[in-house]
Every structure is written in structure tokens, then in C-alpha cells.
Structure 1
Amino acid sequence: MSTTAFTTAIAQARDLLRWRSPLRTELWAARLAADLEPDQVEPFLGELIEDGGAEGRLTLAALAAVNPASEAGAVSEAGAYVLAADGVVETLPGWVRRMGRVTCEGGWYGKADPYGEQVLAALSFRYENGKEPHLLVVGIDQASGGLAVDAVVEEVKFLDDLGLRAEEPGAVAGRVLDAFELGDRIMGAVVADTLAAVRPVAISRARAVPDLVRPAPDDTVSRFDELPDQPGAREAFEKLAEFVGDRPLWWSPARVTQFLTSWLPREAILSEAGIAAMPDVVRAWSRFSGAHPAVLAQVEADAPRLPALMADESLASLGKRIARNRL
């Protein structure tokens, strides 16, 4: 890191010592860490240690607070931050000790858009002294497999405009961690430019939630209670549940078409009753998923084609043909 950038960080830390805000300091440290290239971390930490002043020590403590070492204790950038900050917190004002020491007060989860192509996971926190309540909101992209694509830390009142359903914080935090871990495994994932600067705080907050559920299930399918009373409906719904998998909030016109005209003919073995019941099952699921006119219209456009598509042997996958031969 250049001397100019180091000087800037020290000047900003001086202001933070006057503001005495754990939250502001953590968010600043997360942005600072996001701007560091991997090969800049050790030299920058060395400059801070050599500086020795209160500003440098605050920077070390803040970087460690938002980049806690992994549970496995593996050598990593996070481990480097923690090692560099060893013993410095005790030399700083008492408010610094509150960084990262938060209590989770609630969790919420739901669609970010009408079709659920992205969902939002929200968690509210305040520090152990009861001050600086704040809300973490993570955007999770369903179309890309469920990876985290954006995150913000806002005032708790920000929740009022999101329309999310309250859920157990441990499950919501588990989804947040699952989403970030998935993103780490995908090369070249497209995410918001702002994500990197919030990511350390988001992960440290999610890890602070007690009773984490990993992997965190979604109970949307189990809450569905509008199954049509007709032969084959249960069989049809089981295939629909298999298709939506662990991303059941995502239900768009394109998803309808994929299910009815591609996935079912390719993968599903259904009785005649199951095929006949499928349109009504999909209509019921679409109403349960928000009854969006475009989705319902797509069901009406695609459903009449289903019997012919299911009868077309050329559309069946190899796995489906093998399974059918075993029946």
C-alpha cells in the first residue's frame, strides 16, 4: 500500500477515535480491507505495527474485528489481521472493545422482486451496551444458484419498506453464510461493486448469530396448503417441489416455461393422472407464489402443450429413459 494511502488511513482513524462509534469504525475497516490486494496486506499491517500510535492500533483492532480468523485456524488474510492486532485492543479506549460484540434481535427473509429471482436475508443487531442498532441486508441471487450478490448495513427502519417475513435468525444467518460460501466457490461470479466493502461485516455478523442452521432450509414448500383435490395432484406437486428445490421463492414466467416445457418432459416420469393434474397444481403454486398476472398467463400458454411434450420420447434424458426401462 502506498505511503499516501497509509497516511489517509491514519487520518481517518484519528477522526474515528473522536467519533467513538464501533459501527462506523467496523464499516470503515471493511472498506479498507476491500481495497487491499492480497500482496498488500502484510506490508500494510507492518506499517501499522511500526507506527505504534493510537490511530495505527485502532486500525489494527478494527481490521481484526471485521476479519475474524476461521474456525479451523487456517493461515489466511483474516488470520494475519488477528495476529497483527494481538494485544492492541487493551491499549485503546473502552468503546473499541465493543466492535464485533453484538446481539442479534431478529431475522427476516423474502423476495427482493416480484418473481423471487433475488431474495433478501435481513438480520438486526445492536451492540452489547444496547446502542447503535443496525440492520444487515444481503441480496441472494436465485438464478445464479443462491450466491450473495450485494449487501448493505442500514438503520433498522430500512426494514419497513422490504416486506419480508420474520424467520428464525439462526436460519437466516445460515442462508447468509451459505450464500457467501457459494460465491467463494464460483469463479467470475457477477456481484455488485459495493459487496466487497460490506462482505467482512456481513460474514462476521452472521457468524455472531447463535444457533446457526447450516445448511439452512427454506420452508416455503412445506407451507403450501392449496393442493387441488383431484387424482394425481400429490404426484404432480412432488415433481414441482423437486424442480424448485432449495430456491422455492423463485417463480417467474421463464421458470414456468422451463418447468412445463423442458424439465418435465426431460426428467419426470408421471402417470396420466399426474400429467392431467399438473396444470392445476402449477396454477395453485403460482397463486401461492404471488398470483402475478404474467406468471398465471404463462401457465395458461404452456400447460396445453404438456401432454404432447410428455409423450415425446425424443425429449427424455438418458436418465429418464433408463429409469423408465426399469419400471
Structure 2
Amino acid sequence: MTSQSRGRDTTPVPGPDGINSFVKDVLSDFAALAAEPDLLQIEVLASEVAGAWWEDPEGEDVARELIDRAKKKASPGSAALLTSLSVLAPDPAVREAAAVGLRAVLGRGIPEPEWAPGLGAVGVDECWQLGDVYGDTASLLAVLHRDQERIGIFALLHLTDGSLPDVTIVDNPDELLAGMRGQAEENDGLLLVERIEPARLRGLLERGIAVLDTLEEPEVTEEFVRFRALALAYCRVLPDAEPAPGPEPLGDWDAVIEEFLTANPELPDTDDTRYCVRLLIDFGVQTEPSRPLRISPERMVAFLEDWLPGEIELSESEQEVLPDVVLAWTRWTAIRQGLPELALAELDEVVQESLAGLGDDSLEIYLDGDEDLDDPVALTELLERRMFAVPATITELGDTQLELEPTDPEQRRLLVIGEHPEYHEALTEDSDIAEIDGVDPREYLALKAAVVDQLWDNEPQELWAAVVRMRDTGRERDEILDELVTVLSEQADTAGEPGAEEFEFDLDAYCAALEALN
């Protein structure tokens, strides 16, 4: 199924010569089209111009300057441009400014384009949606007409957040509809094609574009930029948008957990089981608050392979019960969602594969490659020690989220730094911050990174033994590491030097101090 769009091959944007060159090019393009008008091409050109200033950080200024300069030209090209923008510009203020400018141009003897009444004037025949049964994504199609011409709005909708990253104006809507029906037939039980009301389609399109308009750097296709304005213009001739559906009520988390455990009596009703169920609910609320219990292969893979490793440190007993809880949750929520058997089978297979790889991924990321894997006891201790030292491999530094390799000492240090956002500003080159709450940030992070490296290499062995003793008393990881940093600081010769990041110490004295910890 291939969409066939209409219009120019490139979008005009303000180039290195600035607004003067941009205005000249736009007026030239409109003058050329106005001489031999193809109404859809004129609409697409206006949409491209609006897309150019939508992408520009100074977009409002570009639009205002373009209209002001076109108003002063008093040419057929400027009349064509201002006529088009007065109807098709997404912003009502821009449409009004273009209308004012057009009246000024017409008042100087330039005739109004004959094709002006047809701008944006389309009728709607039918609207369709092709979506996966899980509710992840959908393709939208509005079949429109203008006289004998068939036109369509074709768009991709992300149902998870309502965003619409791709929209195209096409001249083959009937072919696209046939393709949508063919896809649904070939994937019966996984894809569903259904006719929807124009008011519903308008709401999905307008809200989906509005979501992206609020983002500083939206991820959209070139077609979205090019056809955004025209799609919105066509939407304005459809019935008033249907209101967005309200969020699905979740209710009390404990009640959901009770309902789930009652439906799955084979699961042990333990604190570990309930904690794992609560994690699944928490993931749903954080990632899709309007539909927190919605299930799909994409969402479960995201939970198991992205969210869980990056957010949560599970105990050994929680890790043991997690697979059974996830499988039961998958089936229970799928049945609640009314998924067909084929979708349920696909979902189960994907989750099984993700669970099978979960342990392998955890092993690989904590192994250097030279460990003895034949001794299960030693391997278990190694993983426990290294996962204590580096519990998460995903961190945030500034505005960037990083997935790092803990086997690399430099990346381990970044993971340590990521645990302390309160010190990030002090690490910048131009920072003059020497102390925060009595702590030298650079020295503290260097000491903590040294402790983490020692735990990773198990040298000295007295360090991990001290950790086990302190952990057995109920102390938390952060408290334990702070205690170890203090011990290393007291033993390190250079610990008192501001900004010190390398340390020398007496190994025997250091080990004796570690053995004294409880």
C-alpha cells in the first residue's frame, strides 16, 4: 500500500540569503502556478510555505514578514500567495493578516485569482481507520472530493500518546482504502479496519498535530511538515471534532492486585508477587496514564527490556517470581482487553522471548569475558557483587539519557556521576563550585568511582565482605557506599587535596579498616 502525494518536490525555506530570497522564491513559485492553476498544487505550495515557518524557531516573524512584503509587491504572485494563506494558514491570526494584505493588493488593481473560491473547499465521502488490535498505532484515511477530483488525507497515529508524526495529502485515496482492507484481511485477528465518523477523524488529526506542536523538537516526517497546514485546512470543513475519550479509570491499585491474584490462584500470594504486580501497574501509569492497563507486545518488551532494567533493582526472590507474574499478567490483561486468540498467542510468544533473553542480557552486561562460567556459585557471587556496585546501566547526564557498558571503567564512572545529579553543575569546566553541603563533589565522585571499581574487580576482597556484613544489618546501598567512601577517604594520601581524582593508600591499613566495619 503506497500513498501518492501531490505537489512540489521540495519545501521552500528561508535560505542563507534570509527572508529576501525566501519571499522572492515564494512569490515566483506562486506566480508560475497561478498562470496555469492546478488547485491542489496551489494548496500544497501554500502548505509547504506554512511548513517552512512551522520548522523555523522564528516562525511567527517569518510569516508576518512574508505577508508584509507580499502586500507591498502588488503582483499576481502576491495576490495568489495572500489568497492561499488567507484560507489555508493554520493560525487564525495569520489567516486574518493575509486577508488584510490581500485587500490591500486588490485595492491596487490586481485581480483576485479565479480559483480562490475553491481553496480548501472539499466534501467528505468516508473516513477509515486501520489499527492493530492492541491499540499501539493506526493509519487514518479521509476520502474527500472536489468536483470529480478524488483527494485524501492519509496519516499515521500513535495511539499511545495521540501524536500524529506523519500526514500526507494524496490523490489516490481509493487505492489506499483497498490496500487497508487488504492488510486487514491478510492479518485477520491482528489488524482491524473500520469506518469511523468524520468528526472522530477530525478530532484525532487535530489533537495529534497539536501534541507535536507543543514539543520543542518533534520527530516528524518531511511529509508532515509539508502537508500539515493543508491537512488542518481540510479538517476545518469536516463536522466539529469529536471530544477526546476520557482516561480509563484504574481505581485503587490494591484492588487491581487483589483482582489479578484472585484470577491467578496458581501464583503465590507473597510480598514479592505483589511487588512485581505493582511494578507492572506503575509502568502503565507512568508510560500511558490514560490507559494504564493496556497490553501489547511493544509495551511488554518496553517494560522488560527498557523500563525495568533502567528503573528498578530487583532482589533475588523478586527476580525468581517475576517471569510467572509477567506471563500471568499478560494473559489476564489481554483477556480483559478482549484481544482475539491470535493476538493473545502473538503476545504470549513475544513476552516469552523477552523473558528468555532477560537473564542472558543481565549476564552479558556484567561480564568482562574472562570469567569462569563453570562455577555457578562463584558466578552468582560475581553478579551479585557487580550488580550491587552498578545496579543500573541507564543514566541521565544533563538532558541526555545514556545506556552505558559497566565493563568499561570510564563508562562506570559516568554511571556513578549519573547517580548524583546534584553535583553535575559543579563538574562543568567553568564551574567555581568547590563544595556542596560540606562535600567536594569532584573528590567524592572520584572516591565513589574508586570504590565501585574495587567492587567490580573484587580487589581487595575485604571490601565485598564488608558490604555483605553491613547489608545483613539492614543498611541500604547508598548508606553502605557512603561509609566505604569515608573509609577510603581516611586512608587516601591525597584525599585532602581539593579536586583530587586519584588516590594512593596503604593497602594493609585500608583492609584493616574494612574488616572493622559492621
TM-score grouping bracket, smaller chain normalisation: 0.5 to 0.7
- 1:47 corresponding residue in structure 2: 69
User: In the aligned structure 2, how far is the partner of 1:102 from the partner of 1:217?
Assistant: 31
Query: Which position in structure 1 is the counterpart of 2:143?
Result: 124
Whether the aligned pair in 1 keeps the contact of 2:199 and 2:242 (CA below 8 Å) is yes
Cα distance in structure 1, aligned partners of 2:105 and 2:67: 13
CA shift at 1:200, angstroms? 0.8
| Unmatched segments (≥5 aa) in structure 1 | 71-75, 220-230, 234-238, 267-274, 304-327
Deviation at 1:292, TM superposition (A): 7.1
In structure 2, C-alpha distance between the alignment counterparts of 1:33 and 1:301, rounded to whole Å: 46
Find the counterpart in structure 2 of residue 182 from structure 1: 211
Residue correspondences, number: 270
Q: 1:288 aligns with which of 340, 353, 373?
A: 340
Secondary structure of the residue aligned to 1:8 is: helix
For structure 1, which segment, 58-67 or 160-169, has the greater mean C-alpha deviation from structure 2 after superposition? 160-169
Q: State how far apart, in whole Å, the 2-side matches of 1:188 and 1:135 are.
A: 27
| Partner residue in 2 for 1:165 | 194
Q: TM-score, normalised by structure 2?
A: 0.44
Higher relative contact order (CA 8 A, sep 6+): 1
Amino acid at match of 1:20: P
Distance change (3 Å), C-alpha of 1:212 and 1:289: farther
1:310-321 correspondence runs (5 A): none
Q: How does 1:3-152 map to 2 (within 5 A)?
A: 3-36=20-53, 37=56, 38=59, 39-67=61-89, 69-70=91-92, 76-86=93-103, 91-111=111-131, 117-127=136-146, 130-143=147-160, 145-152=161-168
The unaligned stretches of length 5 or more in structure 2 are 1-17, 182-192, 249-261, 265-280, 313-325, 356-518
Instruction: Determine whether 1:256 maps to 2:284.
Output: no
* CA apart distance, 1:246: 5.5
Structure-2 change in CA distance of 1:216 and 1:245 (3 Å): same
- CA 1:296–1:6 in 2, change beyond 3 Å: closer, same or farther? same
In 1, Cα distance between the equivalents of 2:141 and 2:246? 16
Structure of larger gyration radius: 2
Deviation at 1:82, TM superposition (A): 3.8
Q: Distance in 1 between matches of 2:247 and 2:128?
A: 12
CA distance 1:276–1:138, shift in 2 (3 Å): closer
**Contact 2:90–2:232 under 8 Å retained in 1:** no
Asked if the contact 1:106/1:166 (under 8 Å) is kept, the reply is: yes
TM-score (normalised: structure 1): 0.67
SS at match of 1:85: helix
Q: Give the match's secondary structure for 2:139.
A: strand
Identity percentage over the alignment? 16
